[in-house]
Chain A
Amino acid sequence: MGEAPTGPVLEVKDLRTHLFTSRGVGRAVDGVSFALRRGETLGLVGESGSGKSLTCLSLLRLNPQPASRIVGGAVLYEGTDLLAKTDEEMRRYRGKRIALVLQDPMTALNPVFTVGNQIFEAIRLHQGARGSRLRKIAAEMMRLLRIPDPEQRLGDYPHQFSGGMRQRAVGAIALSGKPSVLIADEPTTALDVTIQAAYLEVLKEIQRRERLAILFVTHDFAVVARMCDRVAVMYAGKIVETADTWRLFDDPRHPYTVALLRSVPDVEARIERLYAIEGQPPSVFEPAKGCAFAARCPHAEARCHDEPPPDVPLEGGRAVRCWLFVR
Chain B
Amino acid sequence: MTNPAYQDDEHYVAPFSEDTQFGELKDSAPAAKYRPSVTGWFGILVVGFWILIAVLGPFVAPYGENDLPFPDAYSEFQVPQPGAWLGTDVEDRDVLSRLLFGAGRTLGISITATVMAYFLGVVLGIGAVVAGPRVDLILSRINDAFLSLPTIMLGLVVVAAVGSSIPVLILTAGFIYTTIVFRLARSIGMEIVVMDYVEAARARGEGLWWIVTREVWPNAALPLVSDFGLRLIVVILFISSLSFLGLGVQPPQADWGSMVRENLGALQYGASVVPVVAPALAIASLTVGINLIVDDVSAGAGGKLAKRM
Physical interaction between A and B: no
